[in-house]
Structure formats: C-alpha cells, structure tokens
Structure 1
Amino acid sequence: MTGALPFVTRQQALPVGIVLVVVVIALLAWALQLMQSAIDQQEFSLMLAGCLVCSAAVGLATVMVMTLNGLLL
C-alpha cells in the first residue's frame, strides 16, 4: 500500500508508547490480583478472568509494538 499515512507521528510515538506500557502493566497487575483471589477463594471463574485479562494485555502489547514500528497487518 503506497502513500499510506502513519497511524502516529514520530512526535506522538513516545507519549503513546509510555501510556500503553502503563496500561499493559496495570492490566497485568489486575490479572495477578484476580488470580490471587482465585487461589484464596478456590474459584475457577476468577482464574479464568485473570487469564482473559492477561491475554488482553498481551494482545494490546502486540498491537502497540506493531503500530509504533509501522508494521502492517
């Protein structure tokens, strides 16, 4: 695809990257908290929720790396 505009400019890449890293870290902390509650309460649904939140964080990190490096899908 020729002539495509970048999603973020060079000046926006650092602030967007920092915000997304903070969001990913917050999601991982929440996932760990859910999993710890699952162990304490012996509740499978909380463990499943923690795994889903963790997979969302991994997906967000993947898209962040692809976007900030200018990779196309």
Structure 2
Amino acid sequence: MVDGSTDFPPDGVPLIAHQWVLPLGLLSSVVVVGLVVWALKLMQSAIDQSEFSLMLAGCLVCSAAVGLALVMVMTLNGLPV
C-alpha cells in the first residue's frame, strides 16, 4: 500500500507494545530520579567547593533528566516525537 504518506508507524499501530508501557515507565522514572539525585549532589559539591563548573554540570545533568522524562512521556502516551 503506497499512498505517499511518510507516517511511521502507521496510524493505529502503537510505538511501544502495551505490555511494555508499565515496565518502561517505571524504569525511566527510576533513571530520572537517579539523574536528579546526582545533579543535586553535584550542585551541593559546587556550593561546598565554590566551583562554578560543578554547578554547570549539575544543571546539565538535570536538564538531561527533564529531556528524558519528556521524551518518555510522549512515547508512552503515543504522542508523536
């Protein structure tokens, strides 16, 4: 069936199988919480040592956690990425 559309996956086909949504959601939640904890530890070290680079690293790790959470929520809810 060639109709010229470039949609992938086709309409009605989920990106992730239904039985994998809960395990992937829980795993991604654990990863995001771990990244946020790591970012907070980096920022605490930055305050203790008066290091700007550690604060910047903490902000980058935290923004990566937010990006990961956003993409996983979009993917698990079937929104286009």
1:31-46 matches, cutoff 5 A: 31-46=39-54
Residue 41 (structure 1) shift = 0.1
In the TM superposition, what are the counterparts of 1:18-57 in structure 2 within 5 Å? 18-57=26-65
User: Comparing both structures, which one devotes a greater share of its residues to helix?
Assistant: 1
1:17 equivalent in alignment to 2:48: no
Highest RCO, 1 vs 2 (Cα 8 Å, sep ≥ 6):
1
Q: Show CA shifts across 1:12-38 (max 9, x none).
A: 000000000000000000000000000
Q: Pick from 2, 14, 17: which aligns with 1:6?
A: 14
Deviations, residues 24-55 of structure 1 (Å, cap 9, x unaligned): 00000000000000000000000000000000
Which structure has the bigger radius of gyration? 2
Structure 1: 5+ residue runs without aligned partners? none
- The 2-side partners of 1:28 and 1:38 are apart by 15
When normalised by structure 1's length, the TM-score is: 0.93
Aligned length: 73
AA of the residue aligned to 1:3: P
